[in-house]
Amino acid sequence: MKITEDTVKHVATLSRLEFSDSEIGEFTEQMGNIINMASQLQAVDTEGVEETVQVVDRDTVFREDKPEHWQDREELMENVPEKANGFIKVPVIIEKDDNE
Amino acid sequence: MNYLNETIDSLNKKLASGEITADQLAKDTVANIKDTDKKLNAWITVDEDAKPAENLDFAKNKLAGIPIAIKDNIVTNGMKTTAASHILDNFMPMYDATVISKLKKAQFTLVGKTNMDEFAMGSSTEHSYFGATHNPWNLDKVPGGSSGGSAAAVAGGQVVAALGSDTGGSIRQPAAFNGIFGIKPTYGRVSRWGLIAFGSSLDQIGVMSKRVKDSAEVLNVIAGSDDHDSTMSTREVPDFTKFLGQDVKGLRVAVPKEYMDAVDGKMRELIQKQIDLLKDAGAIINEVSLPHTKYVVPTYYIIASSEASSNLQRYDGIRYGYRAKDTKNLLDVYVKSRSEGFGTEVKRRIMLGSFALSAGSYDKFFRQAAKVRTLICQDFDKIFAENDVILGPTTTEPAFGIGEEVSDPIKMYNNDILTISANLAGIPAASVPAGLVDGMPFGLQIMAKRFDEGNVFKTADFIERSNKFYEKTPTGMED
A38, part of any domain: yes
What backbone phi and psi angles, to 5 degrees, belong to B391?
-120, 155
Partners of residue B327 in chain A, C-beta under 8 Å: 91
Provide the pLDDT for residue A100.
Answer: 46
Residue B145 near residue B174, CB atoms below 8 Å: yes
Count chain A–chain B contacts defined by CB atoms under 8 A: 175
Instruction: Classify residue A24 by burial, with Cβ atoms within 10 Å: 0-12, 13-18, 19+.
Output: middle
Percent of chain B with pLDDT over 90: 95
Neighbours of B261 (CB within 10 A): 11
Q: What is the tens place of the pLDDT at every residue in B412-438?
A: 888 899 999 999 999 999 999 999 999
Q: How far apart are the first and last CA of chain A?
A: 45
pLDDT band, very low/low/confident/very high, at B479 (cuts 50, 70, 90): low
Are residues B125 and B132 in contact, defined by beta-carbon separation less than 8 angstroms?
A: yes
H-helix or E-strand containing A13? Answer: helix A5-14
Identify the CA nearest to B297 among candidates A3, A52, A39. Answer: A39
B71 noted as active-site residue: yes
Minimum CA–CA partner of A14 in chain B = B354
What is the tens place of the pLDDT at every residue in A21-48?
999 999 999 999 999 999 999 999 999 9
Element (H, E) at A26: helix A21-38
Q: Is residue B30's pLDDT more than 80?
A: yes
* Catalytic choice (B128, B146, B147, B305): B146
The residue that leads in pLDDT, B258 or B478, is: B258
Report if residue A9 sits inside a domain: yes
- C-alpha span between B302 and A6 (Å, rounded): 21
Q: How far apart are CA B450 and CA B161, in angstroms?
A: 24
Give the span between the Cα atoms of A3 and A35, in whole angstroms: 8
* Residue (of B31, B95, B113, B111) closest to B63 by Cα position: B111
Asked if B457 has any chain A CB less than 8 Å from its own CB, the reply is no
Q: Is pLDDT above 80 for A95?
A: no
B17 is an active site residue: no
Contact B186, B233 (CB under 8 A): yes
Query: Which contacts of B419-422 are long-range, i.e. CB under 8 A and separated by 24 or more positions?
Result: B419/B166, B419/B168, B419/B169, B419/B172, B419/B173, B419/B394, B419/B395, B419/B445, B420/B168, B420/B169, B420/B296, B420/B297, B420/B300, B421/B290, B421/B293, B421/B296, B421/B376, B421/B380, B422/B169, B422/B172, B422/B184, B422/B447
Give the C-alpha separation, B299 to B42, whole Å: 31
Residue from the list A33, A46, A90 with its beta carbon closest to the beta carbon of B371: A46
Nearest CB to B368 within list A42, A54, A78:
A42
Give the C-alpha distances (Å, rounded to integers) separating B306 from A4, A62, B22, B371, B414. 20, 26, 45, 15, 18
Residue of A nearest to B345 (CA): A27
What number is the ipTM of this complex? 0.92
pTM above 0.90, yes or no: yes
Per the document, the length of chain A is 100
Whether B230 is catalytic is no
- Which of B124, B147, B170, B309 does the annotation list as catalytic? B170
pLDDT of residue A98: 54
Q: What is the pLDDT confidence band of residue A96, given thresholds at 50, 70 and 90?
A: low
DSSP β-bridge partners for residue B437: B440
Nearest to A49 among B187, B352, B375 (CB): B375
Which of B350, B370, B413 comes nearest A15 by C-beta?
Answer: B350
Which residues in chain A have their CB less than 8 angstroms from residue B336's CB? 18
Residue A58 CB partners (closer than 8 Å, separation 6+)? B188, B230, B231, B233, B234
Domains annotated for chain B, with CATH where assigned, are 8-250 (3.90.1300.10)
In this predicted structure, the answer to whether residue A92 has a pLDDT above a threshold of 90 is: no
Q: What is the pLDDT of residues B171-193, one digit of tens each?
A: 999 999 999 999 999 999 999 99
Do you know the residue count of chain B?
Answer: 479
User: How distant, in Å, are the alpha carbons of B96, B183, B392, B411, B441 from that of B259?
Assistant: 39, 19, 6, 17, 18
A18 in a structural domain = yes
- The domain that holds A37 is classified in CATH as 1.10.20
Residues in chain A closer than 8 A to B298 (CB atoms)? 37-41
Q: Domain of A35?
A: 5-43
Q: Is the dihedral of CA B261, B265, B268, B269 positive or negative?
A: positive
Q: Based on the number of CB atoms within 10 Å of its own CB, is B245 exposed (0-12), middle (13-18) or buried (19 or more)?
A: exposed
- Which comes out higher in pLDDT, residue B290 or A62? B290
Interval B181-236: pLDDT, tens: 999 999 999 999 999 999 999 999 999 999 999 999 999 999 998 989 999 998 99
pLDDT score recorded for residue A57:
75
d(CA A28, CA B359): 19
What does the pLDDT look like over B313-328, one tens digit per residue? 999 999 999 999 989 9
Assess if residue A33 is contained within a domain: yes
Rounded to the nearest integer, the mean pLDDT of chain A is 88
Is the separation of the CB atoms in B425 and B287 below 8 Å?
Answer: no
Query: Rounded to a whole number, what is the distance in Å from the CA of A72 to chain B's nearest CA?
Result: 10
Chain A nearest-CA residue for B292 = A44
Chain B residues in contact with A18 (beta carbon < 8 A): 335-336, 339
CB contacts of B317 in chain A (<8 Å) are: 81
Which helix (H) or strand (E) segment holds residue A38: the answer is helix A21-38
pLDDT at A80: 95
Cα nearest neighbour of A71 on chain B: B94
Give the number of C-alpha atoms closer than 13 A to the C-alpha of residue B257, restricted to the C-beta side. Answer: 5
B402 min Cα distance to partner chain A (Å): 21
Q: Which tens digits make up the pLDDT trace of B442-471?
A: 999 999 999 999 999 999 999 999 999 999
- Per the CB < 8 A criterion, the answer to whether B443 and B175 are in contact is yes
**Residue range B391-420, pLDDT digits in tens:** 999 999 999 999 998 778 888 888 899 999
Helix, strand, or coil here: A74? Answer: helix
Instruction: Give the count of domains, chain A.
Output: 1
Q: Which residues of A touch B322 (CB under 8 A)?
A: 81
Does residue A14 sit within a domain? yes
B400: number of CA atoms within 13 Å, CB side?
16
